[in-house]
Every structure is written in C-alpha cells, then in structure tokens.
Amino acid sequence: MKENMDPGMHTAEHILNQTMIRMFRTGRCFSAHIEKKKSKCDYRFTRPLEEKEIRQLEDKVNEVIRSDLPVNEMFMAREEAEKRFSLERLPEEAGDRIRIVTVGDYDACPCIGPHARFTNEVGKFRIGSVSFDEGVLRIRFKLSR
C-alpha cells in the first residue's frame, strides 16, 4: 500500500470493499491497484456479476459517497486490532499501534494510506468493467469530480 496514493480513489476502495462484503460476502479485495485516473480491485468469488448487479453495486457506492460520511481515524493496540480485523494487507512497519480508518458507521478497516475527509469529496463512482476468471472477480473503476 503506497502512502502517496490518491486519497479520493483510495477512499472509494474502502467504500467499494464494504459494499462488496454487504452485497456479495466477498470479503475485502485481496489485491488492488489504485491510481489517480483508474483503479482496480480483485475479489475472491464464485461467479461473474450480472449487469443488474453491477448497476446496483455502483448505485450503492454512490449512495454512500453522496451521504457525505466523515472519514476518521482511531488507534488501537495491535493485539486488539487482530481480534477485530484482518491485518493481512498492512505492512510490517504499521507497528504496534494500529490505525483504523472509519467511513461513518459504514466501514472500519486498518490502513496506513491517505483518505478524503468526507465521502462527498470522492466524486462520482463509475464501474468501467467487471471480469471473472478462475475465482477472481476484477472490478475496474473511475471517479468523476
């Protein structure tokens, strides 16, 4: 996870992850490429998404963005964080005091990256394509501000 990544895109990743969990029970993405212009997230899943599901997913992410939730951080001891979250994607240098990033009461996730202060700053979320190959669902997306 790069610390210089785009805050809006990266905040969209948090919201997309929580929406994927709620809609499809995928868990958070196991791999992500977050760039200023376009990003992609990979999830473990069992099938492709239908067009209707893709639109519902996009709508739900935009609904969270538009509700302008505050993005905050809190800190907890690694021991406590391990009980509540997967620390798999955190780098070693995250240390013993783990930063948890919350998106209103919608999402909470350990993270060292930069984020928007409010979800409304993210802009409009657009899914470019969704592909499925050997148990991996890849979602490509863009933001328009």
Task: Determine whether 70 is exposed, middle or buried from the number of CB atoms within 10 Å of its CB (0-12, 13-18, 19+).
Answer: exposed
Among positions 29, 113, 116, 139, the unique one binding Zn ion when judged by CB under 5 A: 113
Q: Which of 61, 69, 111, 137 binds Zn ion (CB under 5 A)?
A: 111
In the complex with Zn ion, which residue's Cβ is closer, 5 or 57?
A: 5
- DSSP reduced 3-state for 25: coil
| Nearest approach, Cβ of residue 82 and Zn ion (Å) | 18
In the complex, what is the shortest distance from the CB of residue 121 to Zn ion, in angstroms, rounded to a whole number? 14
- SS3 state of residue 128: strand
Q: Is 143 in the site for Zn ion (CB under 5 A)?
A: no
Of 13, 3, 36, residue with least CA distance to 109: 13
Instruction: Please give the residues from 64 up to 103 whose contact with Zn ion meets the rule CB under 5 A.
Output: 101
Using the 8-state DSSP alphabet, how is residue 118 labeled? B
Cα 5 to chain centroid, rounded: 13
Whole-number Cα distances in Å, 37 to 4, 24, 90, 106, 142 = 14, 26, 24, 25, 6
Closest separation in Å from C-beta 132 to Zn ion: 25
Q: Which stretch binds Zn ion (CB under 5 A): 45-53, 79-87, 112-120, 133-141?
A: 112-120
Q: Which residues bind Zn ion (CB under 5 A)?
A: 101, 111, 113
